[in-house]
Amino acid sequence: MVISFAYYHKSGRAKLMEVSVRARQLGGAKASVGLVCGYHYPDLLRSELEVATRNQKVMVFGRSDWLLLGDRMSQWVKSNG
């Protein structure tokens, strides 16, 4: 599982691709990829990466997740255990 941070959409897209490559190097095809970003539409970034990398274990936490980020990340980690 690899998690990274990016604030803007353009940097978020590049960061997701970078994190996806790193996760695959570290954990193989079953590795999970996470991104914390300031983007208002995190599902858009997530779907772009899922299509580009064929990896369904992708999670993007957007601005609306910040207040409960610890809880959301904990749930995600448990679900991808």
Overall number of domains in the chain: 1
pLDDT score of 70? 92
The string of DSSP codes covering 20-76 is HHHHHHHHGGG--EEEEE--S-HHHHHHHHHHHH--S-EEEE-GGGGGGHHHHHHHH
pLDDT at 49: 75
**Structural domain of residue 70, as residue ranges?**
2-79
> Along the 81 residues of the chain, how does pLDDT read in single tens digits?
667 667 665 666 777 778 778 878 887 777 788 888 888 888 887 887 777 767 677 888 888 999 999 999 899 889 876
What's the pLDDT score for residue 30? 76
Whole-structure pTM value: 0.75
